[in-house]
């Protein structure tokens, strides 16, 4: 076992988590120990993977995904996590299923769960719906297991909802611990979570909400910047504030990218939609009023256009700590002159940090695998210790 | 090995089955021993699964599915069975393939079978087509194997055709043996297989046909009820009659739900389409006459409407044995006031039996896995005995 | 270990290949030793498979496929190869991903590769694009691995591009070595690669190009026949000529099927589109000019029609060596009177060689698996020797 693996096994063993037989829906529903356990288990799985150790802890079973929005990286992260642990990925494509025929969420959730260990859901299109839907699925499998209908209790893992994007922001946090050395080293660091201009429309609020709710818990000083009308869900801002208070972190709201970037150690410039527009859009979509949605889109794009100067430029980067803040993005970024004429970030800035953002993304499969492992295995530290000591190589073993 | 596992291994070993290197297309093509072997192997796989024993008998190989109709539960049951046994599920999506380009069934079947252990097919839309198609696929792989073109002979498993739905009705039968204690305990029990009203149109006849053909073989007294014009395929009614004669079971035809429910131990109220309409629809679809299909649909719905009182109500349930008959359904049910205004079953009845119907459905992955195991492994009882004694846990083993 | 397995292990060990940590894009980018290694490893994997030995060399990891054109046999060959080696197949469906949103190839390639061992790509629709795209993906993963962004370096495998179809033509070559006894026995054999009439339009040129570039390297005398205007890419004809010169093979160009079939040992009659039409079509598609594409299609079909007599008939087969040349096809063939009124081949000819073409196709999963093994495992001969000696059976082992 490598020194790093031994250290991480020790740390994981010291954390008392409550994730076994539970779901992972919102970071603020989990204790600090739970979050640290996810980070630690993810880092350990990544270390074992890089050393070629097989971490196949399941011999069979399904890892079901349900993507209610387009997805590349989350889809592949989920499938990778499933494969890493020995599960068979299976996508619930609602177009090919009978779900449309008036079947209840409870019934569908039960029917796909007889041999299922995890259900990963992405549902971020409608404000107020995504999290609600995940709770219904979680409730269904909880009841199914309690009633003896399901032989095991699959974990529901939030792969992005209208409120939070926990697999993303925990991958972000793991990335920060690697760049800055440790979780402790992040205390007092200044992170600018700021709105940025994009020629597209309707990007979810889950990433900025997830960032402001998570980062202050570990002593990070978050500065949130957005144009008027682009504020996040008030109850999540409240949660973030409370976390900051409790942990010695901080949440500051400012109204310009300049103010946010000032002396920042980390910048996270990213477009999102105005909440009021997302809410009106949700209503219109529920009513099936496609023409009004189109009209709304034009209004939203015009409104966006007024803030086209919210762009992460070289100039702005100079105002950060020593001019060398770490640039972050959940990808894909709207890069000026590359993926669009004018976007969230200047091409030269993105280029300099491209590999950083790729490394940031590269943690996600391991974060998801850690969530599956911690929710589905009773003594994860013990299991991973055994794996680190005894497991065969991932490639080329003959059993 | 648990006592139950030991008992089931013994029972399986005593049955002389002929399923090895064969298909599973229609229950009435199989001997009683074959059917008992499927039930026993399924129960054993389920017992081993619940005790956390890995039943991965394949180290590689494909489990191909071909769904020519929408499906959730059967799709997931098939993928679950594949994963449980170590096979890789692979869906043949005819939209994404070259199959439309005039390729023969024989060629497609061969091309997808080079490393394939099982081909599961759902083809229930056209009367007279589904079973025919499965036979063509089975014939193709049989010839391919005989000619040395295929290194192994994949089993074709019927996941629902126009005549039978064997994975469903064997899951139903396994459910009955669990509820009533044993297969023997079902002798003399009265099962009402009855048509029920649904606001939808064109549901396949395969479930009621499968039920009346299978259940009388084990001494169950089946009462079949439907409005005039909703009779099942005459040749299958004949098969059911013959099975009843041979086994001491019974098949009675009545013309009202009331008559069927009278003193029933089990009720299975379910909508299906009139055969004559299905046949005309098949002709029209083959001719590509979409407008006439629409007109036919309106006629069918109007006809359906005349029998809207065929609903499984609390009132009717009272007429069953001690007012406590077991309610069954293959799901999804059309529940009055829930999934539709007026449907097959009253909400309060369905609610009382909801978990029973979920347990009924929960057997299906194991029934499918049993079919794969019995068709693909030469000495299944021996193999399962070894697994029960020596196999590692499904979760958390380090090899 | 069987005698054949022992012989193949020995042969593989004697070849010094350079495939480890590389891609497989075009046969003419690989050395003779590399090509022989693919053939030998494929034959060995097939021998082990037929003897029931598990060749699961990976315990986890993704095998990503990206089909930019419809596909049945290649899709299933790829999934079969993945399953055979223990990888989880995962399809990148560009319709369901965010790829359309202006994301760069480099970024998408990286995002799907964090736990990926192989990326199989089919991109054959646009002349000049397919190979280019694969190079971009290969470049992206090469850089990602060099930069430490990717923990391993996935191999890019060409599942058909605009220039070559290496998995097909190597399966073809393996088929020839089995029919004629050995690779050496092919020296001096005459192969007619000839255009044939099909009522369809726009079939790729990759198969005939792949055949003429590959076969002369092993001393086969290739005669290429096509109507005027149906010539292949000149640079590939040049490559083929050079290969012929270097190896003692030969490439002859003739202008009739008759001339090509004369004394041929092997015939490969197959339709393809005129290069000039493919190029114009590529331009029009890039410009989004659907109406002109339609008009072009009519022109192309009319042009095709003029050569409707290019059909592999019994009459023509008589002119081959002893009237018994081996008929080959990559499938599906356009069979006169079966899949179309008049096509590439007479029904009686196809019927006589049907099983041969199926065997030809049956090598493809093993060719793909060999490419994965050789690009991803450092000492493949050693590994396969260990597997041949020690690996458990593929079916029915209890670990």
Q: Which residues numbered 358-397 in C keep a CB inside 8 Å of some CB on A? A: 376-377, 383, 386-387, 390-392
By CB atoms closer than 10 A (0-12, 13-18, 19+), residue A336 is: buried
pLDDT value of residue A68: 87
User: Which of A102, A111, A391 is facing B339, going by the closest CB pair?
Assistant: A102
Radius of gyration of chain C (CA): 21
For residue C63, being part of any structural domain is answered with yes
Inspect the interface and report whether the beta carbons of B72 and A88 lie closer than 8 Å. Answer: no
Label residue B129 exposed, middle or buried (CB < 10 Å: 0-12, 13-18, 19+).
middle
| A108 contacts chain B (CB < 8 A) | yes
Alpha-carbon distance values, A394 to A348, A368, C327 (Å): 39, 19, 43
pLDDT at C102: 62
Residues A367 and A243 in one domain: no
Contacts with A73 from chain C: Cβ below 8 Å? 98, 111-112
Q: Which chains neighbour C (Cβ–Cβ under 8 Å, 3 or more pairs)?
A: A, B
Given a cut of 60, whether residue C101 has pLDDT beyond it is no
The per-residue pLDDT for A101 is 56
CA-CA distance, A177 to A39, in Å (whole number)?
A: 9
* For range B70-91, the mean pLDDT: 95
In a domain, A186, yes or no: yes
Predicted confidence (pLDDT) per residue in A196-253, tens digit:
999 987 899 999 999 999 999 999 999 999 999 999 999 999 999 999 999 988 999 9
Residue B123 lies in a domain: yes
Instruction: Residue B147: name the closest of B99, B110, B104, B119 by CA.
Output: B110
For residue A179, the enclosing domain spans 168-361
Instruction: Lowest mean pLDDT of B6-10, B128-132, B313-317, C53-57, name the range.
Output: B128-132
Q: Is A174 within 8 Å of A42 (Cβ atoms)?
A: yes
Reply yes or no on whether the pLDDT at C248 is more than 90.
no
| Shared domain check, A199 and A322 | yes
Task: Identify the DSSP state of C325.
Answer: P
- Kindly identify which residue of chain C lies nearest to residue A357, measuring between CA atoms: C149
Number of domains, chain B? 2
| Structure-block tokens of residue B283 | 């002709």
Name the band, by pLDDT with cuts 50, 70 and 90, for residue C142.
Answer: very high
Range with lowest mean pLDDT among A61-70, A131-140, B185-194, B305-314:
A61-70
**Which of C80, C175, C335 to mutate: most B Cβ within 10 Å?**
C80
Average pLDDT over every residue of A86-111: 82
- Interface partners of chain B (CB pairs < 8 Å, 3 or more) are A, C
Instruction: Indicate if the alpha-carbon torsion angle A34, A37, A41, A42 is positive or negative.
Output: positive
Indicate whether B228 and B252 sit together in one domain: yes
User: Which of A48, A63, A90, A114 to mutate against chain B (most B CBs within 10 Å)?
Assistant: A114
Chain B residues near residue C55 by CB distance under 8 angstroms: 60
Chain centre to alpha carbon of residue A358? 15
- A391 in Cβ contact with A9 (< 8 Å): no
Residue B132 to residue B151: CA distance in whole angstroms: 25
pLDDT band (50, 70, 90) for residue B36: very high
Q: What is the pLDDT of residue B101?
A: 56
Average pLDDT value for residue range B61-87: 94
Which among B110, B386, B390 has CB closest to C358? Answer: B110
Residue C327, strand partner residues: C267
Q: What pLDDT digit, counting tens, does each position of B226-263 carry?
A: 999 999 999 999 999 999 999 988 999 999 999 999 99
pLDDT over threshold 60, residue C110: yes
Q: What number of other Cβ atoms are within 10 A of residue B222's Cβ?
A: 28
- Please name which of C233, C257, C237 lies closest in space to residue C307, comparing C-alpha atoms: C257
A7 in a domain, yes or no?
yes
- Strand B62-67, strand B116-123: pairing: parallel
Task: Return d(Cα B388, Cα B399) in angstroms, integer.
Answer: 17
Q: Are A336 and A367 in a shared domain?
A: no
Contact A96 B339 (CB under 8 A): no
DSSP-derived secondary structure for B103-145: --HHHHHHHT-TTEEEEEEEE-SSTTTHHHHHHHHHHHHHHHH
Q: Which of A335-339, C166-170, C277-281 is predicted with the least confidence, judged by mean pLDDT?
A: C277-281
Q: How many C-beta atoms surround the C-beta of residue B247 within 10 A?
A: 16
pLDDT confidence of residue A102: 62
CA distances from A194 to A197, A205, A244 (A): 10, 12, 18
The alpha carbon of C388 is separated from its chain's Cα centroid by a whole number of angstroms, namely 27
Return the residue of C nearest to B62 by Cα: C80
CA distance A53 to A395: 8
| Residue B96: pLDDT band with limits 50, 70, 90 | low
Q: Cα dist. A201→C140, C171, C252 in Å? A: 29, 48, 59
The predicted structure's pLDDT at residue B217:
96
- Compute how many other C-beta atoms are within 10 angstroms of the C-beta atom of residue A15: 20
Has residue B149 been placed in a domain?
yes
Kindly report the average pLDDT of chain A as a whole number: 95
The predicted-structure confidence for C280-334, as pLDDT tens digits, reads as follows 988 888 888 889 989 999 988 999 999 999 999 999 999 999 999 999 999 999 9
Would C397 be classed as within a structural domain? no
- For residues A88 and A142, membership in a common domain is answered with yes
Q: Kindly state whether A54 is in contact with chain C, defined as any CB-CB distance less than 8 angstroms.
A: yes
CB-neighbour burial class of residue B293 (10 A; exposed 0-12, middle 13-18, buried 19+): middle
Q: Do A83 and C61 touch (CB under 8 A)?
A: yes
Least confident of B177-186, B249-258, C8-17, C89-98: C89-98
Q: What is the DSSP string of A278-305?
A: HHHHHHHHHHT-HHHHHHHHHHHHHHHH
Per the CB < 8 A criterion, the answer to whether C19 and C30 are in contact is yes
On whether any CB of chain C is under 8 Å from the CB of B144, the answer is: yes
From residue B241, give the alpha-carbon distance in Å to each of B27, B64, B189, B221, B248: 14, 35, 16, 11, 10
Q: What pLDDT, on a 0 to 100 scale, did the predictor assign at position C209?
A: 98
What is the per-residue pLDDT across C151-173, written as a single tens digit (0 to 9) for each? Answer: 999 999 999 999 999 999 999 99
Closest CB to B98: pick one of C70, C362, C364. C70
Cβ atoms of A264 and A320 within 8 Å: the answer is: yes
Neighboring chain A residues of C111 at a CB cutoff of 8 Å:
72-73, 76, 331, 358, 361
Q: Are residues A174 and A37 in the same domain?
A: no
Q: C37: which 2 tokens? A: 């290694």
**Under a CB-based contact definition with an 8 Å cutoff, are residues A32 and A217 in contact?**
yes
CA dihedral B53, B57, B61, B64 (to 10 degrees): -70
Taking the C-alpha atoms of residue A272 and residue C186, their distance in angstroms, rounded to an integer, is 64
DSSP bridge partners of B267: B192, B327
Q: Is there a single domain that holds both residue C344 and residue C382? A: no
Q: Which residues of A touch C147 (CB under 8 A)?
A: 355, 358
Strand order in the sheet with B116-123: B88-91, B62-67, B116-123, B155-161
Asked if A159 and A131 touch (Cβ cutoff 8 Å), the reply is no
Kindly state whether residue A399 falls inside one of the protein's structural domains: no
Residues A101, A104, A107, A111: is their CA dihedral positive or negative?
positive
pLDDT mean over A158-174: 98
Q: Could you say which DSSP state residue B218 is in?
A: G
- B98/C395 touch (CB, cutoff 8 Å), yes or no: no
pLDDT at residue B88 greater than cutoff 90: yes
pLDDT band at C201 (very low <50, low <70, confident <90, very high): confident
Answer for the pair B268, B209: CB distance below 8 angstroms, yes or no.
no
- Which one-letter DSSP state was computed for residue C392? P
Contact call for residues C375 and C20 (beta carbons, < 8 A): yes
Tokens in use for A355? 């590999």
Average pLDDT, chain B: 95
Judgement on whether residues A283 and A345 belong to the same structural domain of the protein: yes
Q: In sequence order, which ranges of A154-274 are alpha helices (DSSP H)?
A: 166-180, 206-214, 234-247, 257-261
Residue A99 reports pLDDT greater than 60: no
Please state the separation of Cα C199 from the chain's center in Å.
Answer: 23
Query: Distance between CA atoms of C255 and C259, rounded to whole angstroms?
Result: 7
Separation CA B198–CA C13 (nearest Å): 67
| C159 or A397, greater pLDDT | C159
Mean of pLDDT values over B210-215:
98
Q: Which of helix, strand or coil describes residue B61?
A: coil
In this structure, are C210 and C278 located in the same domain? yes
The answer to whether position A68 is within a domain reads: yes
| Closest-CA distance of chain C to residue A65, Å | 13
Provide the CATH number for the domain around residue A69. Answer: 3.40.50.1370
Which of B62, B97, B111 is the closest to C83 by Cβ?
B62
pLDDT digits (tens, 9 = 90+) for A267-310: 999 999 999 988 898 899 888 888 998 999 998 899 999 999 99
In chain C, DSSP assigns E strands to 62-67, 88-91, 116-122, 155-158, 190-195, 221-225, 250-254, 266-270, 326-327
Residues 6+ apart with CB under 8 A from C375: C19, C20, C21, C22, C23, C24, C118, C155, C157
Q: Is the pLDDT of residue A173 over 90?
A: yes
Q: Are both C129 and C242 inside the same structural domain?
A: no
Give yes or no: residues B191 and B94 share one domain: no
Gap between the Cα atoms of B54 and A59, Å rounded: 6
Query: Residues near A168 by Cβ (< 8 Å), separated by ≥ 6?
Result: A160, A206, A207, A210, A330, A364
What pLDDT, on a 0 to 100 scale, did the predictor assign at position C368?
Answer: 98
H-run or E-run covering B240: helix B234-247
Task: Please tell me the predicted confidence (pLDDT) of residue C326.
Answer: 98
Q: What span, in angstroms and rounded, lies between the C-alpha atoms of A39 and A238? A: 24
Residue C86: which of A370, A76, A399, B54 has the closest Cα? A399
For the cut 60, the answer to whether the pLDDT of residue A100 exceeds it is no
Nearest Cα neighbor of C50 from C366, C325, C357, C353 is C366
State how far residue C248 is from chain B, nearest Cα, in angstroms: 33
CB pairs under 8 A between A and B: 123
pLDDT given at position B105: 93
The pLDDT tens digits for A41-83 are: 999 999 999 999 999 999 999 999 999 888 888 999 999 999 9
Any bridge partners for residue B327, and if so which? Answer: B267
Residues B139 and B30 in one domain: yes
Q: What is the mean pLDDT of residues B36-51?
A: 98
The torsion angles phi and psi of B51, rounded to 5 degrees, stand at -90, 5
Higher-confidence residue of C228 and B125: namely C228
């Amino acid at each position: 076992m490598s020194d790093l693996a031994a250290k991480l096994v020790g740390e994981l063993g010291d954390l008392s988590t409550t994730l076994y037989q539970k779901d992972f829906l919102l970071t603020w529903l989990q204790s600090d120990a739970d979050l640290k356990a996810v980070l630690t288990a993810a880092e350990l799985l990544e270390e074992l993977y890089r050393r070629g150790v097989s971490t196949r802890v399941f011999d069979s079973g399904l890892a079901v995904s349900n993507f209610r929005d387009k997805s590349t990286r989350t889809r592949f992260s989920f499938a990778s996590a499933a494969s890493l642990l020995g599960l068979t990925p299976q996508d619930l494509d609602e177009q090919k299923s009978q779900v449309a025929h008036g079947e209840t969420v409870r019934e569908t959730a039960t029917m796909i769960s007889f041999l299922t260990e995890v259900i990963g859901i992405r549902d971020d299109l409608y404000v107020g719906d995504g999290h609600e839907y995940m709770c219904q699925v979680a409730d269904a499998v909880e009841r199914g297991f309690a009633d003896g209908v399901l032989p095991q209790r699959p974990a529901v893992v939030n792969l992005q909802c209208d409120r939070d994007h926990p697999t993303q922001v925990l991958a972000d946090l793991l990335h920060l611990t690697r760049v800055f050395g440790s979780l402790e080293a992040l205390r007092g660091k200044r992170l600018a979570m700021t709105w940025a201009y994009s020629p597209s429309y309707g990007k979810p609020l889950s990433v900025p909400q997830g960032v402001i709710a998570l980062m202050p818990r570990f002593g990070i000083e978050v500065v949130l910047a957005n144009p008027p009308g682009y504020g996040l869900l008030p109850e999540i801002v409240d949660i973030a504030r409370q976390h900051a208070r409790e942990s010695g972190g901080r949440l500051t709201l400012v109204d310009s990218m300049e103010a946010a970037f000032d002396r920042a150690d980390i910048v996270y410039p990213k477009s999102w939609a105005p909440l009021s527009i997302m809410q009106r859009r949700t209503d219109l979509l529920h009513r099936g009023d496609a023409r009004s949605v189109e009209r709304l889109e034009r209004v939203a794009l015009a409104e966006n256009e007024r803030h086209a100067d919210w762009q992460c430029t070289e100039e702005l980067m100079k105002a950060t700590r020593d001019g060398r803040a770490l640039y972050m993005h959940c990808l894909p970024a709207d890069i000026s002159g590359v993926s669009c004429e004018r976007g969230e970030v200047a091409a030269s800035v993105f280029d300099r940090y491209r590999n950083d953002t790729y490394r940031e993304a590269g943690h996600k499969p391991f974060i998801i695998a850690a969530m599956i492992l911690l929710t589905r295995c009773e003594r994860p530290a013990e299991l991973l210790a055994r794996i680190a000591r005894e497991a065969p190589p991932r490639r080329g073993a003959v059993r």
